[in-house]
A = this chain, B = another copy of it.
């Protein structure tokens, strides 16, 4: 049983009719519906809940956390940010979606500004697979095409990704490293670019496939955590 928690700030949904129409159960609800599998235990959590729905208990029982945020990054309490990033270092998988690039959680784990170029202009995005054998690309063709998306353009101010899975082409002339993996502590992180709230991106089958694959990929491995601090020698040291 894999415990998956889908976090969404759930703010656009309250304010914007278009978003509600696209995602009547919220972006978190839409994601929950296609991530769902028999041996998965899916929860959702949102900003307005107590502790943003991310209590110690919830996080301790989360194997993979998905994160969607945009206009309310500042309202996420620093204590919760600390709790989430610590859980990632302890082994929880983290999937950061679209505008989550600017979340406190992602920026803290990356150590960089995570800034980028952006534009809302109803333009075409074509997401090319550049890592053929990556499990996150399983089942995809050569590219994913989205008729209309927000543009995110380079330079994307992240550390060098451990793996670069996708690169986007935008109609307006930009490119973007759209699918990036990072390891931090005992946890795996995947950043996936598309998913603007006013487009039906999360209804796209290929986008769904990527997120399904990513959840599986980000699941923790079963290992004891390393021991840090003062260590007795394992061999005889001649000076002592």
How often does this chain occur in the complex, in copies? 4
Residues of B within 8 A of A173 (CB): 126, 169, 233-235
- Interface size on A, as a range, is 35 or more
Does A214 have its Cβ within 8 Å of any Cβ on chain B? no
Which residues of A108-133 have CB atoms within 8 Å of chain B's CB atoms?
Answer: 108-113, 115-119, 121-124, 126, 128-133
Given contacts A121-B233, A135-B221, A235-B171, contact A115 B228 (CB under 8 A): yes
Given contacts A159-B159, A172-B235, contact A130 B222 (CB under 8 A): no
B111 pairs with A153, CB closer than 8 A? no
B230 pairs with A118, CB closer than 8 A? yes
Given contacts A91-B133, A110-B111, A185-B112, contact A227 B142 (CB under 8 A): yes
With CB as the reference atom, state the residue of chain B lying closest to A177.
B130
B226 pairs with A132, CB closer than 8 A? yes
Q: How far is the CB of A61 from chain B (nearest CB, A)?
A: 19
Report the Cα distance A147→B139, complex, angstroms.
36
B139 pairs with A223, CB closer than 8 A? yes
Q: How far is the CB of A24 from chain B (nearest CB, A)?
A: 25
Other-chain contact of A141, B124, B128, B160, B224 (Cβ < 8 Å): B224
Does A22 have its Cβ within 8 Å of any Cβ on chain B? no
Other-chain contact of A226, B123, B155, B227 (Cβ < 8 Å): B155
B174 pairs with A169, CB closer than 8 A? yes
Other-chain contact of A183, B160, B171, B228, B229 (Cβ < 8 Å): B160
B172 pairs with A234, CB closer than 8 A? yes
A231 pairs with B112, CB closer than 8 A? no
Most buried by B among A85, A151, A220, A239: A239
A169 pairs with B175, CB closer than 8 A? yes
Does A205 have its Cβ within 8 Å of any Cβ on chain B? no
Please list 17 pairs of residues, one from A and one from B, whose beta carbons are closer than 8 Å in the complex, sorted by A's number. A109-B111, A111-B111, A111-B184, A113-B228, A117-B227, A117-B229, A117-B230, A118-B229, A121-B239, A121-B240, A122-B239, A128-B174, A132-B223, A138-B223, A157-B228, A162-B163, A164-B164
